[in-house]
Structure 1
Amino acid sequence: MKKLLFFALILLSGIGASAQTEPVFKGSISGVVIDSTSNKPVDYASVSLYKADAATPINGVITDANGNFKIDGVVPGNYKIGISFIGYQTKNTKTFTIDAANLNYQIGKIILSAEVNTLNEVVVQGSAALVSNKIDKIVYNVEKDVTASGGSATDVLQKVPLVSVDIDGNVSVRGDANVRILINGKPTGATSSNVSDVLKSIPADQIKNVEVVTAPSAKYDAEGSGGIINIITKQKSVSGINGSVSGGVGTRQNNFNANINYNKGKFSLSANIGSHSGWPQTSDYNSSQQFNDGTTNTLQTANGTSKVNRFGMMGSVTAGYEIDSTNSISSTFRLNKMEFSSDGNSQNIFTDYNDASNNNTFTGKTRSVNKNEGFDWNLDYLHKFSKEGHELTFSTQWSHSKVNTDYTNQYSAFYTDQKAFNDGTNNEYTLQLDYSLPITEKFKVEAGGKSIFRRISSDFTNYVPDANGNFTYDPISSNLYDYSQDVLAGYAVGTLTLPKGYTVMAGARIENTSITGNPTNALQTDLQRFENTYSTFIPSFTLQKSLTDKSSLKLTYSKRITRPSLTYLNPFINKSNIQAQTQGNPNLDPEISQTVELGYSTFSQKRTLSVSAYYKYTSGLIEGIATPLDGESGTITNYQNIGNNKSFGMSLFGSVNPFKILTIRGNVNAYTYKPDPSGVFLEDATQNGTYVQYNAFVSGTLAFENGLSAEAFVIQNSSRRTIQGTNPAFNLMVFGVKKQFWDKKASLGINVASPFRKDLSFKSETTGTGFNTSSQFNYPIRSFGITFSYNFGKMSFSDPSKGKKGVKNDDLKEGESNPGGMVPSP
């Protein structure tokens, strides 16, 4: 911490010295963009500001719903404006001057003529601009997605290129589940408890776009081998008052979202609330566990049903104040609450082929309730120097969450009844300093430091029945677990624009991680406090070549780490599923992955293509190893560093407009899984070949001029491999129709999911030495829904870059379901 503060003081002192010589007065440039044919305003057109003799823009905005734009903070000088939008010719203005006598320059009307458009970045979709490919990320424009209305963030992510989502809401990028989820560039404390529930609680109508960073630069936290997903919500920078209301009602799920924005002068305020709930869903399942090690020869089967209820809501308030033309502050307070409950009943048969007297038939009844609530509080300070892009940001964040899990397992025979409570608390404190300096028009440097302090506590209380069948406190299984993780980091990144269309982004990051775990149990004196400290050097490199004005080639290298956190380190045994228990391992090392990728993108007015090939090497691969329980029927899974994995992959995204009103899109990502287990884990590996895994989707959209649009898409994900078995495959078909009216201020839609099949079947299998387990889960998926949206208020444009900086904690391993670490995610 002292090193970080020392670094910040040096940086601030140097910046303060340089700032004294810079001019303090700034101007603005405003105008309106008009369609040459209809004479109507062009909304969401890109407005770029250039110095008079430069070919690279130094600033930019987009037009509002009335075609207006305004660029603030312009220092005196000679400039020109460039306007671009898909379907129109790029328009450049004549050179004009900003000086002390003419600070607020009014351009007036700028007329755009319809024609084939050329963009500075590769846009991977024609007229709808659904997907764009930037130097460090892919951007999916959710507002252009017809079938997204009425769903949740989970539904949206299922269609984002390179991203796959399984039936439980677990997210992966190109097959890697170690993905960081950010909301508006910042984490939410809720994602440290249950990512899938957080995504289900965010209405799709609240999302503006999704950014997928497959090869994060050194600016980002090093955690997350799969990359980063940043969900941008509809928080608009506007003058006056405006807002929107949207929602949906369906046979499977319901949602509601409302937001309001106020902006006057230097003060801005926005508020949002969204909820997502599902009707009770009843699923059926069957499973079998067979053990045969030469001595034991048994088979246990189960058939049952599970009824699930789910509810989630999120609300936020953001306030910002522009102190002057160079300094601004903003603060966001976000609340979240989620609840998941499940009731299950099962019929079980246990067969002992060696001793028929042990055979048994019994019933099981389970009840679980998972609650998660918390808040995130951000406070950010932004200082802009007179030179465009020269900025300093200091950000703080406090994330707090509480996870309460209660469950009861009761059996008519064979197993001992169990009742347990798990209370988990997670507090996370972050300080972050970021500095950006464009040394020249073609060379930009970014540097910064960051510290994250996590304090997590788990209080697990277990009860077992006494002689009378009443639950009593069990001191043997009850425990207290305290866990802390401190991360100190520093980074530097440079971006250089070279001749002949080359752009280079290179950087380095150093992270130091300190972990402490303190397990406590009154009857287990052998438990020991454990500590682990390690440093990681993280280089990054991206080289992009613009082949033509419509195509580019990109080569990237990235290194990422995956730290084992609480779920993987907690040494106490999780017996919430008595037949499939789990246990953490305090001695785990982090996974380290290195990826090299070569990608090509090209587009035209009617056809687009983005294809990439990559190789990823992962050392210290973390997987769960299942073994039979001693003296019991069931398995226990321990997390281990099993060895290495080498993976080759290819991603392809394309779209075509065979007719003016029809757009067909498709995405497929295929990669190999070939683990190389070492040491004792060679004996545990039953899947030792090279396996090809994939996720894909295809969609078609019809867009008519009267505001009517329709879309259909199909998703297909293959099963996922481990060294001991397979996890379920996933596929889904969805149709949607939407009609806009009242000058596009309102819309109504109808969505249909899986109309030809009531249930989805998910099969999984695990095989080890002396045992084999399999299960099939049938989940009701067919649904029908009606969606609506309405936008109100008057909007005029203001600087969208204000308030964009902030804390970005990208370093919690997806799947670490709760601070207590004792009960798995539902």
Structure 2
Amino acid sequence: MKRFYILSAFFLALNHSFAQQGPSGVAGAQNSIVGKISGVIIDSLTKTPVDYAAVSLSAVKQTKSINGALADDKGAFKLEKVVPGKYRLTISFIGYNTKIIEPITTTNSKPDLNLGTIILVPSNKILQEVVVEGQANIIENKIDKLVYNAEKDVAISGGTAVDVLRKVPLLSVDYEGNVSLRGSSNIKVLINGKPSGTMAGNIADALKAIPADQIKNVEVITSPSAKYDAEGTSGIINIITKKNNLEGISGSVNAGVGTRQNSGNINLNAKKGRLGLYANAGGYYSWPQTSIITFDRQNTNGDYNKQNGESTTERLATNGSIGADYDFNKYNSISSNLKVNWFQFSIDGFNDNKNSFGGIENAFKRMTDNKNKVISFDWNNDYSHKFKKEGQEITFAWQLSRSELNNDYNSFIDQRVRKEIGASDAINKESTFQLDYTHPFKGITLETGAKAIIRNIDNDSKVDSTDLSGGNRIPVPNRNFIYDYNQNVFAGYATLGFTVAKNYGIKGGARYEYTDIDGNDAGSGTFAPFKNNYGNFVPSIVISRTFKNFQTLKLSYNKRIQRPSVFYLNPFRNAADFYNQSEGNPRLSPEVSDNIELGYSRFIKTTVINASLYYRNTQNVIENVVKQIEIDGKTVSLTTFDNVGRNNSFGMNFFGSISPVKPLTLRGNFNVYTYDISLGQSSANLSGAENKTYFMYNAFLSGTYAFSKGFTFETFLITNSPRRTFQGKNPSFNMWNLGLKKELFDKKGSVGINVIDPFNNRKNFKSEITGDGFIQTNNFSIPFRSVGVNFSWRFGNLKVNQNNKRGVKNDDLKQGESSGGGMGGN
């Protein structure tokens, strides 16, 4: 329906005559001086742009159009070659009440007139229909990003952020919750445009702590400009949570109960005059889930290690935030927000082990008890000053972040009289200062700014051997230390954006980032101290061309870097499983990539098409590395991280959406890309995999049908191919989901049911690694089928006040996956 509105407005604007004389009877009509009339059109309720509205100019008290234009996708319009005089301006768009501004005057001394923000009010007759048709706008394709409007999706209630990201075009999420963009896990995840201390550790577990009902939308930015931090070689994922500035008091309550997981959250907003207050709190709990594990490592010398066992995982998380915005006047405003996160998960289990070393066989049972906990907060403070010149603005932001990541384990083997107790307490502290300035010139917008990130990570690791009673603890040599890691990043940037010949848009810029690193072991001598510093020049450019019938062609290039986060750097060795240990690598270098993308998008009535071709060349690729080491005469598998080489990747992505009939919307996304890595010498010695180019893919299909009486049904299917690494492959993944929602309380509430994989009680996830002198395979069998019921209720009025985006945006760290070593452990 919205596409019909846009096309109608488009043809309406085409019917306007573009006369170059002034209105008849107006003094100065024959004057050779000409100017322009401009403005921005927004919706009165949502304060979002009304794109493609028709703007008509006529003489005062007349209706015959003498000039006209069509607003762009940001609601902006411009009437050119307007001679001085008095006019009547008419703005119309189907679904809104027609807006008439009369009189408006331009003079010889001031031929240009900027009307600023113009508000259109939705028509009461159309409003109810727009609410229903809003389901068709779950996906929005913008010039610089793709937006998934999660709040309009009926099938995500009661889940977590992982469930939401699985439905976002361009993204793929495996069974553990690891996220990748166009096949690359080198991404930066932001919350409301800002980093979060929660994401400094294991990103997959952090996402599981965010209730799906708290997410408003997800932005996928594949070609970030120089204004963004250079971090994230494949792009940026920005998760926007539900935070409103509503006049009066309003809010929402959401809750979900299921056979696998449970969640709930509440949002409260209050707005009085120039002061806005908001708060939210949420929680998540997953029922204990038992996985069946099989593991087999065969060495070329005849040694082997086989394991069969079970592990039970339980997760619990809470989060909350409180904040305030205050506008001193039209030009000055401040905001402050404090967000707190807490989550933990435990993994308890056993393995029946059978191994052979040097021809001597051994069998035993190993019991483990793992506990992981993260406590973090982010405190953001922002100040914004707008100048009298429209678009000119300066902002200053300061952010303080602190996260504490604790990893504790006990390991006991039934043939021994002693057990091992390990503990790692890592504290990540960050202070960020950011200054941004925007200045509009005639037809050109300049953005410039500077930023400093002061980051410190302290890791206190202790590993003891103790008798079964827990007393008489003896420190294990070389595994008790305090490691101090400092990383300071200083950056400056400038971008220019302008339009050429009306149909061409260009935005180019450059950013320079200087990184200074030092790490040292506080006295134990376990690790040698080191220092490292480097500078990166990061250019970017985007050229877009618009055509008739709402077609856009975009070509972009940017350079990106990916610094490893604490998840990759933490040297603590997790030896809960003696034969399969893991640790981080504090000497990792950042990844650097060059990215080129050619994209095409088009609206055809009720159809949306988005297609792109892309190329990515990445240096110093960071991957999991599995190698064998000798401990006490036994061959042990150690998983860590390393810069393994250079990867050249070509890819193609296609997304389409169509509504063949009014109540039905079908959507699909398909992404295929290559993995072709050139290994460094040290990595080549650790790999037994074939050196060739691999093709991988991820895809989804979904359908939504809006029935009468407030019922909506949705189903979607996800499938991902196995993901290659330089040593082997990680498991493939697929999932089928069905959801049904019924609106209640005059559309202020809803109740729904979600079913995941109704015909698969359990799923198997197999991986295979070929290394130097060994082949390793393992399989995880986990419960998968689930049924959940969810409820939501919204209260308060609908008078929305505009909320400017401000604040710190740290986009500079490679974030952790749930597989492999490092801090989280397994």
TM-score normalised to structure 2 length:
0.85
Tell me the secondary structure at the aligned position of residue 185 of structure 2: coil
Cα 1:190–1:304, aligned 2, differ >3 Å: closer, same or farther?
same
Deviation at 1:412, TM superposition (A): 1.6
Amino acid aligned to 2:592: I
Aligned residue number for residue 592 of structure 1: 592
Pair 1:46 & 2:50 matched: yes
Pair 1:165 & 2:170 matched: no
Cα 1:577–1:80, aligned 2, differ >3 Å: closer, same or farther?
farther
Structure 1 contact 565–816 (Cα < 8 Å) conserved: no
Pair 1:692 & 2:681 matched: no
1:90 & 1:55 partners in 2: Cα distance? Answer: 18
Tell me the secondary structure at the aligned position of residue 634 of structure 1: strand
1:320 & 1:537 partners in 2: Cα distance? Answer: 36
Aligned residues: 753
Amino acid aligned to 2:421: K
Determine which of 351, 354, 379 is the counterpart of 2:356: 351
Matching of residues 577-726 of structure 1 within 5 Å: 577-630=577-630, 631-685=633-687, 686-726=689-729
Aligned residue number for residue 465 of structure 2: 464
Structure 1 contact 687–722 (Cα < 8 Å) conserved: no
Pair 1:789 & 2:797 matched: no
Deviation at 1:604, TM superposition (A): 2.1
Deviation at 1:706, TM superposition (A): 2.2
2:241 & 2:436 partners in 1: Cα distance? Answer: 23
Please, which moves more after superposition, 749-758 or 620-629?
Answer: 620-629
2:379 & 2:574 partners in 1: Cα distance? Answer: 32
Deviation at 1:79, TM superposition (A): 9.6
1:313 & 1:516 partners in 2: Cα distance? Answer: 34
Cα 1:203–1:126, aligned 2, differ >3 Å: closer, same or farther?
closer
Amino acid aligned to 2:764: S
Cα 1:32–1:312, aligned 2, differ >3 Å: closer, same or farther?
closer
Deviation at 1:91, TM superposition (A): 6.0
Deviation at 1:175, TM superposition (A): 1.1
1:175 & 1:492 partners in 2: Cα distance? Answer: 30
2:580 & 2:682 partners in 1: Cα distance? Answer: 22
Pair 1:452 & 2:424 matched: no
Cα 1:596–1:45, aligned 2, differ >3 Å: closer, same or farther?
closer
Deviation at 1:471, TM superposition (A): 5.4
Pair 1:340 & 2:341 matched: no
2:612 & 2:42 partners in 1: Cα distance? Answer: 40
Cα 1:42–1:227, aligned 2, differ >3 Å: closer, same or farther?
closer
Deviation at 1:239, TM superposition (A): 0.7
Please, which moves more after superposition, 170-179 or 494-503?
Answer: 494-503
Deviation at 1:584, TM superposition (A): 3.9
1:46 & 1:579 partners in 2: Cα distance? Answer: 61
Aligned residue number for residue 387 of structure 2: 385
Where structure 1 has 5 or more consecutive residues not aligned to the other structure, the ranges are: 1-27, 34-40, 63-76, 118-124
Structure 1 contact 58–389 (Cα < 8 Å) conserved: no
Deviation at 1:114, TM superposition (A): 7.5
Cα 1:98–1:308, aligned 2, differ >3 Å: closer, same or farther?
farther
2:678 & 2:405 partners in 1: Cα distance? Answer: 37
Matching of residues 402-481 of structure 1 within 5 Å: 402-413=404-415, 417-440=419-442, 442-465=443-466, 470=471, 472-476=473-477, 477-481=479-483
Aligned residue number for residue 768 of structure 1: 771
Structure 1 contact 206–233 (Cα < 8 Å) conserved: yes
Structure 1 contact 566–816 (Cα < 8 Å) conserved: no
Deviation at 1:56, TM superposition (A): 8.1
Cα 1:461–1:565, aligned 2, differ >3 Å: closer, same or farther?
same
Deviation at 1:416, TM superposition (A): 7.0
Q: Deviations over 1:285-336 (max 9, x none)?
A: 11111112xxx31122111111111011110111011111100000001111
Amino acid aligned to 1:427: K
2:46 & 2:144 partners in 1: Cα distance? Answer: 28
Structure 1 contact 241–260 (Cα < 8 Å) conserved: yes
Cα 1:108–1:345, aligned 2, differ >3 Å: closer, same or farther?
closer
Tell me the secondary structure at the aligned position of residue 635 of structure 2: coil
Deviation at 1:58, TM superposition (A): 10
Structure 1 contact 610–652 (Cα < 8 Å) conserved: yes
Determine which of 281, 284, 297 is the counterpart of 1:276: 284
2:455 & 2:712 partners in 1: Cα distance? Answer: 47
Deviation at 1:500, TM superposition (A): 4.4
Aligned residue number for residue 185 of structure 1: 193
Aligned residue number for residue 815 of structure 1: 816
Determine which of 482, 485, 489 is the counterpart of 2:484: 482
Deviation at 1:678, TM superposition (A): 2.8
Matching of residues 484-633 of structure 1 within 5 Å: 484-520=486-522, 522=524, 524=525, 527-571=527-571, 573-630=573-630, 631-633=633-635
1:380 & 1:181 partners in 2: Cα distance? Answer: 21
Q: Deviations over 1:607-628 (max 9, x none)?
A: 2211101111111122233222
Structure 2 contact 674–696 (Cα < 8 Å) conserved: yes
Structure 2 contact 368–411 (Cα < 8 Å) conserved: yes
Aligned residue number for residue 63 of structure 2: none
Amino acid aligned to 1:207: I
Matching of residues 145-224 of structure 1 within 5 Å: 145-224=153-232
Amino acid aligned to 2:164: V
TM-score normalised to structure 1 length:
0.85
Deviation at 1:417, TM superposition (A): 3.1
Aligned residue number for residue 746 of structure 1: 749
Cα RMSD of the aligned pairs, angstroms, is 3.2
Amino acid aligned to 2:448: A
Aligned residue number for residue 237 of structure 2: 229
1:681 & 1:129 partners in 2: Cα distance? Answer: 46
Cα 1:452–1:32, aligned 2, differ >3 Å: closer, same or farther?
closer
Amino acid aligned to 1:131: I
1:512 & 1:415 partners in 2: Cα distance? Answer: 52
1:469 & 1:336 partners in 2: Cα distance? Answer: 32
Aligned residue number for residue 143 of structure 1: 151
Cα 1:738–1:483, aligned 2, differ >3 Å: closer, same or farther?
same
Amino acid aligned to 1:740: E
1:773 & 1:90 partners in 2: Cα distance? Answer: 67
Deviation at 1:465, TM superposition (A): 3.0
Matching of residues 4-19 of structure 1 within 5 Å: none
Structure 1 contact 189–401 (Cα < 8 Å) conserved: yes
Deviation at 1:278, TM superposition (A): 0.7
Deviation at 1:724, TM superposition (A): 0.8
Cα 1:407–1:511, aligned 2, differ >3 Å: closer, same or farther?
same
2:754 & 2:644 partners in 1: Cα distance? Answer: 44
Amino acid aligned to 1:210: V
Deviation at 1:418, TM superposition (A): 1.4
Cα 1:51–1:96, aligned 2, differ >3 Å: closer, same or farther?
farther
Amino acid aligned to 1:711: E
Cα 1:554–1:254, aligned 2, differ >3 Å: closer, same or farther?
same
Please, which moves more after superposition, 778-787 or 583-592?
Answer: 583-592
Q: Deviations over 1:351-404 (max 9, x none)?
A: 35x52xx21111011101111112111110011112222111100000111112
Amino acid aligned to 1:368: N
1:31 & 1:432 partners in 2: Cα distance? Answer: 29
Q: Deviations over 1:415-444 (max 9, x none)?
A: 97311111111111000011112213x321
Amino acid aligned to 2:456: R
Please, which moves more after superposition, 573-582 or 239-248?
Answer: 573-582
1:32 & 1:678 partners in 2: Cα distance? Answer: 55
Tell me the secondary structure at the aligned position of residue 199 of structure 1: helix
1:491 & 1:572 partners in 2: Cα distance? Answer: 36
Structure 2 contact 202–824 (Cα < 8 Å) conserved: no
Structure 2 contact 42–49 (Cα < 8 Å) conserved: no
2:570 & 2:351 partners in 1: Cα distance? Answer: 29
Cα 1:656–1:57, aligned 2, differ >3 Å: closer, same or farther?
closer
Structure 1 contact 222–538 (Cα < 8 Å) conserved: yes
Pair 1:302 & 2:307 matched: yes
Identical residues among aligned pairs (%): 43
Structure 1 contact 644–677 (Cα < 8 Å) conserved: yes
1:373 & 1:569 partners in 2: Cα distance? Answer: 19
2:452 & 2:92 partners in 1: Cα distance? Answer: 41
Deviation at 1:110, TM superposition (A): 6.7
Pair 1:259 & 2:271 matched: no
Structure 1 contact 300–351 (Cα < 8 Å) conserved: yes
Deviation at 1:143, TM superposition (A): 1.7
